[in-house]
Amino acid sequence: MTSTSSWISPSTRTELIEDLVSGVDRYNPSNVGILEDYLYHQIRSEEYDCLANLAILKLYQFNPDLYNPDVVINILIKALTASPLPDFNLCISLLDERPVNATLDEPDPLPSILPILKDLHNLLYRCRFPAFWEIYHSEQLEALRDNYTVECVGFENAVRAVVIRAVQATFTRISSERLASYLDLTGADLNSYVQNLGWTVDSSTSVVSVPPNPDNQIESTVVQETIALPQLTKVISHAALKA
């Protein structure tokens, strides 16, 4: 990702959603259903639209009656894999404190899941990838996996995309072993994943080469000053006056 344009307005966003995101209609509580449907569409089809999801949270913020914990959790799961962009934090910022809600039919799952998601986000943001997978697969997170992430198509691959962003910026070559621990993949899975990226594995040393990109090319440079004409305007015009 090198610019924000697809984040501000993903190509998959429909005109209807665009109107809701950019117009005053975003405050209309009766539109929350449209945005929630759009969220579930994102979850099924590996799309992502942060601003549209923030619009849902905004409606929840202003209309506590609309609050649906499952939607909030799904939004946070989607935002998790946007790291290192601040999406996850932006979502949390909109979650106002709410008194324990008695009107829900079932107990609110968010208070117990929120700290888990924050931990997962923290591990991803701090590039602690092996630890992320360990905790993600742990028994305590069974509820999160079975009830939520399993529904979110491609969640694990989205986490791997976070890994790849960090690795390709930092490494020119990386051992298969290390990469495997970051990606939570082994053997043939790892090989095919790496091949799909267009990366190559040295069969004798099993070291993976990361193709050059703007972030893993380093060069010592000396920045020389450049003088723009406008800087000299005063000096030159003064000289011209004399002539």
> Which three-class secondary structure state does DSSP give residue 153?
coil
Q: State which residue, 96 or 146, has the beta carbon closest to another protein.
A: 96
Q: Are 51 and 33 in contact (CB under 8 A)?
A: no
Could you tell me the sign of the dihedral formed by the alpha carbons of 86, 87, 89, 93, in that order? positive
Residue 40 C-beta: closest distance to another protein, Å: 22
Q: Show the site string, 170-189: x = touches another protein by CB under 8 A, - = not.
A: xxxxxx--x-----------
The DSSP code sequence of 25-86 is GGG-GGGHHHHHHHHHHHHHTT---HHHHHHHHHHHHH-GGG--HHHHHHHHHHHHTTTTST
Supply the minimum distance, in Å, between the C-beta of residue 21 and another protein: 9
- Which range of residues in 38-46, 138-146, 183-191, 235-243 is near another protein by CB under 8 A? 235-243
Q: Is 92 in the site for another protein (CB under 8 A)?
A: yes
Tokens of 172: 């020119």
Question: Please, which of residues 98-117 interact with another protein by CB under 8 A?
Answer: 98-100, 102
Asked if residue 56 lies in contact with residue 63, where contact means CB atoms within 8 angstroms, the answer is no
Looking only at residues 27 through 86 of this chain, which bind another protein when binding is defined by CB under 8 A?
Answer: 27-30, 50-51, 54, 58, 61-62, 64, 84-86
Contact region with another protein (CB under 8 A), list: 10-18, 133-141, 185-193, 224-232: 224-232
- The two beta strands, 207-209 and 200-201, are antiparallel
Residues in the chain: 243
Residue of 5, 157, 192, 195 interacting with another protein (CB under 8 A) = 5
- Binding residue for another protein (CB under 8 A) from 116, 135, 197, 207? 207
Instruction: Kindly tell me which residue out of 105, 115, 140, 222 binds another protein, with binding defined by CB under 8 A.
Output: 222
* Residue 208: its H or E element: strand 207-209
Q: DSSP secondary-structure letter at 116? A: H
Q: Is 235 in the site for another protein (CB under 8 A)?
A: yes
Instruction: Name residues contacting another protein, limited to 134-163 (CB under 8 A).
Output: none
